[in-house]
């Protein structure tokens, strides 16, 4: 089955554009494309342990051992120890099936729990692929059926107007999260994200089953995805509008989370080419390989990604480093297109993070938001609230969020993660989220068609700021193209964070593919137009 890209949301052609140079925009896009091209040969020639675990999951390998270690981890660890991972986990599974295992589950159990050395593979790649063919087809069908179910529900119920209101819940207990998700939806939220337990991105496995304890969030597991989706499915029927579910496809298990999100009907996944490198110190090689495979899955599943450029402005100054956000968005777009992701599924991120004490900070925020919206007209842009320049004064904080909401509706942002008046004090309570929703509803309704009335002064501050940021992004992309992606990240070109190519977590899990490497799942995903 094939799915054509569908315009979910986008920028209104009736809005008056900033008078920026379209030729500079086109050259930025071309430079970002060449930057991504410079990395893609490495991606093509390597796999990772997380990619191979994802292949096993796609083939239906499930369960955990008596210590709670997922079977896919036990299996891949044994293949790595045998120095056979360069052939791909699929080769080993197929070889076991040709030797008598009835399906990939039994084959994985033989590999994981068998004794002695793993037998040499004596079959040809064609024979191995043929043995897996029905399971490969079934894996893709599972993704397609989940997508079809989601799109049918969405078409039947419809969604709220944009900007979609996005809220986070995170109690640590998935059953409490499900109830808080219902409450958020009842109060008007369109999108519910269950934030992950602190540091889950740094562990090289996906926990198994439902979880009731987490720190700063809730563990992302397949069962937890099911529990929240079931709650939202039930609630959306009562409310008469489709409710969207989000989780985090980043870190050392990026492709695994992407697959689990795909088959459990998540609508959005936080998925960025550089976030894990910069903010979690995950090895650049590992991250850039994993993001490609994860985005191939996401593209097939019809999921919207949310990128993480908003985080750049938490470590770097939002005035001086605004251009790095634009440059990174171009690069994220280039990597996503390389993975077959249509523009309509690229939720590029940016944030309302300029110091509120700076004169005309609101105008600079308008310039940045309009510039992003205009450069990426088909993309479901994600607009993030102020977090850095907030204090314990909840009334001032709520006023800041009101201005954030105004910029969001005035520049036609697509997805707006609502700011909380208690952002700098504690994890927001239910009433904090209620206040955020009511405030956003007021601003969105009161200024619903504000964008149609805006005309930009060609000699004004907003236009000058937009042109400056675009020019600086153009120059930065030129520098990154000359030195290469690895070197640019290593010198701190993005977010003022330096990450060397051979540093960080997870490098040992990057493996060069052998000449007879086999991954029928990736082959099938790459055939998707």
The token duo for 154 is 């969405």
Quote the CA–CA distance of 510 and 386 in Å, as a whole number.
36
What confidence category does residue 2 fall into, taking pLDDT thresholds of 50, 70 and 90? very low
Quote the CA–CA distance of 256 and 205 in Å, as a whole number.
9
Query: Is it the case that residue 301 has pLDDT exceeding 80?
Result: yes
Q: 3.40.50.1370, 3.40.50.2300, 1.20.210.10, 3.20.20.440: which CATH number matches 22-37+163-466?
A: 3.20.20.440
For the purposes of burial, counting CB atoms within 10 Å of the CB of 81, is it exposed (0-12), middle (13-18) or buried (19 or more)?
Answer: exposed
The fraction of the chain above a pLDDT of 90, given in percent, is 92
Q: Which ranges of 13-166 would DSSP assign to H, the alpha helix?
A: 22-45, 49-58, 71-81, 89-98, 104-113, 125-157
State the catalytic residue, choosing from 242, 275, 292, 517: 275
Look at residue 528 in the predicted model and tell me its pLDDT.
64
Query: Is it the case that residue 22 has pLDDT exceeding 70?
Result: yes
State the catalytic residue, choosing from 59, 382, 405, 432: 382
State the catalytic residue, choosing from 310, 401, 405, 432: 310
- How big is the chain, counted in residues? 529
> Span 475-482, mean pLDDT?
98
Query: Is it the case that residue 348 has pLDDT exceeding 60?
Result: yes
CB of 61 within 8 A of CB of 79? no
Torsion from C-alpha of 298, 289, 316, 303, nearest 10 degrees? 0
Percent helix, strand and coil across the chain, each rounded to 5?
Answer: 55, 10, 35
Quote the CA–CA distance of 162 and 196 in Å, as a whole number.
26
Quote the CA–CA distance of 371 and 366 in Å, as a whole number.
8
Look at residue 5 in the predicted model and tell me its pLDDT.
41
Look at residue 11 in the predicted model and tell me its pLDDT.
61
The token duo for 60 is 């239906």
Average pLDDT over the chain reads: 95
Sequence-distant (≥ 6) Cβ neighbours of residue 48 within 8 angstroms: 255, 286, 289, 290, 506, 509, 510, 511
Look at residue 1 in the predicted model and tell me its pLDDT.
43
Query: Is it the case that residue 522 has pLDDT exceeding 50?
Result: yes
Long-range contacts of 430-433 (CB under 8 A, 24+ apart): 430/180, 430/183, 433/167, 433/183, 433/184, 433/187, 433/189
Query: Is it the case that residue 6 has pLDDT exceeding 90?
Result: no
Quote the CA–CA distance of 479 and 270 in Å, as a whole number.
27
> Span 145-163, mean pLDDT?
97
Quote the CA–CA distance of 342 and 296 in Å, as a whole number.
11
Known active-site residue 312: no
pLDDT tens digits, residue range 393-414?
A: 999 999 999 999 999 999 999 9
Known active-site residue 382: yes
Predicted TM-score of the model (pTM): 0.95
Known active-site residue 259: no
- Secondary structure (3-state) at 321: coil
What confidence category does residue 46 fall into, taking pLDDT thresholds of 50, 70 and 90? very high
pLDDT tens digits, residue range 409-449?
A: 999 999 999 999 998 787 788 889 999 999 999 999 999 99
Look at residue 100 in the predicted model and tell me its pLDDT.
95
Quote the CA–CA distance of 121 and 129 in Å, as a whole number.
13
């Amino acid at each position: 089955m094939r799915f054509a890209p569908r315009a979910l949301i986008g920028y209104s052609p009736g809005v008056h554009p900033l008078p920026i140079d379209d030729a500079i925009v086109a050259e930025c896009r071309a430079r970002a494309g060449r930057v991504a091209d410079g990395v893609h040969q490495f991606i093509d020639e390597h796999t990772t342990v997380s990619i191979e675990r994802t292949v096993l999951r796609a083939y239906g390998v499930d369960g955990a051992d008596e210590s709670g270690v997922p079977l896919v981890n036990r299996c891949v660890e044994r293949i790595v120890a045998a120095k056979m991972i360069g052939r791909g986990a699929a080769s080993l599974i197929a070889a076991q099936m040709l030797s008598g295992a009835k399906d990939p589950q039994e084959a994985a159990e033989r590999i994981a729990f068998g004794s002695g050395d793993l037998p040499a593979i004596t079959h040809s790649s064609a024979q191995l692929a043929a043995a897996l063919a029905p399971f490969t087809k079934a894996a893709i069908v599972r993704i397609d059926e989940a997508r079809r179910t989601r799109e049918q529900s969405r078409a039947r119920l419809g969604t709220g107007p944009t900007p979609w209101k996005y809220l986070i819940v995170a109690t640590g207990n998935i059953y409490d999260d499900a109830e808080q998700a219902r409450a958020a939806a009842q109060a008007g939220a369109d999108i519910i994200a269950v934030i992950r337990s602190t540091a889950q991105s740094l562990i090289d496995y996906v926990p198994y089953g439902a979880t009731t304890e987490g720190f700063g969030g809730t563990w992302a597991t397949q069962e937890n995805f099911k529990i929240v989706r079931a709650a939202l499915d039930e609630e959306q029927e009562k409310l008469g509008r489709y409710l969207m579910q989000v989780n985090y496809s980043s870190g050392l298990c990026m492709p695994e989370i992407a697959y689990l999100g795909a088959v459990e009907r998540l609508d959005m996944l936080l998925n960025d080419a550089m976030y894990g490198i910069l903010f979690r110190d995950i090895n650049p090689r590992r991250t850039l390989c994993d993001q490609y495979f994860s985005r191939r899955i996401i593209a097939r599943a019809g999921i919207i990604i949310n990128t993480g450029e908003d985080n750049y402005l938490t470590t770097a100054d939002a005035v001086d480093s605004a251009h790095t956000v634009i440059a990174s968005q171009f690069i994220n777009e280039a990597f996503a297109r390389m993975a077959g992701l249509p523009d309509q599924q690229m939720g590029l991120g940016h944030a309302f993070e300029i110091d509120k004490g700076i004169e005309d900070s609101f105008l600079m925020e308008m310039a940045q938001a309009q510039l992003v919206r205009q450069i990426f007209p088909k993309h479901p842009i994600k607009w993030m609230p102020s977090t850095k320049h907030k204090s314990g004064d909840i009334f001032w904080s709520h006023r800041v969020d009101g201005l954030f909401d105004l910029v969001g509706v005035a520049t036609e942002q697509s997805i707006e993660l609502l700011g909380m008046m208690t952002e700098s004090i504690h994890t927001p309570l239910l009433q904090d989220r209620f206040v955020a929703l009511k405030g956003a509803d007021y601003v969105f309704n009161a200024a619903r068609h504000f964008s149609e009335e805006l005309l930009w002064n060609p000699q004004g501050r907003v236009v000058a700021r937009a042109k400056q940021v675009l020019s600086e992004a153009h120059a930065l992309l030129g520098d990154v193209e000359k030195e290469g992606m690895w070197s640019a990240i290593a010198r701190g070109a993005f977010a003022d964070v330096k990450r060397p190519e051979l540093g960080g977590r997870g490098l040992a899990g990057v493996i060069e593919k052998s000449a007879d490497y086999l991954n029928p799942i990736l082959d099938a995903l790459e055939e998707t137009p």
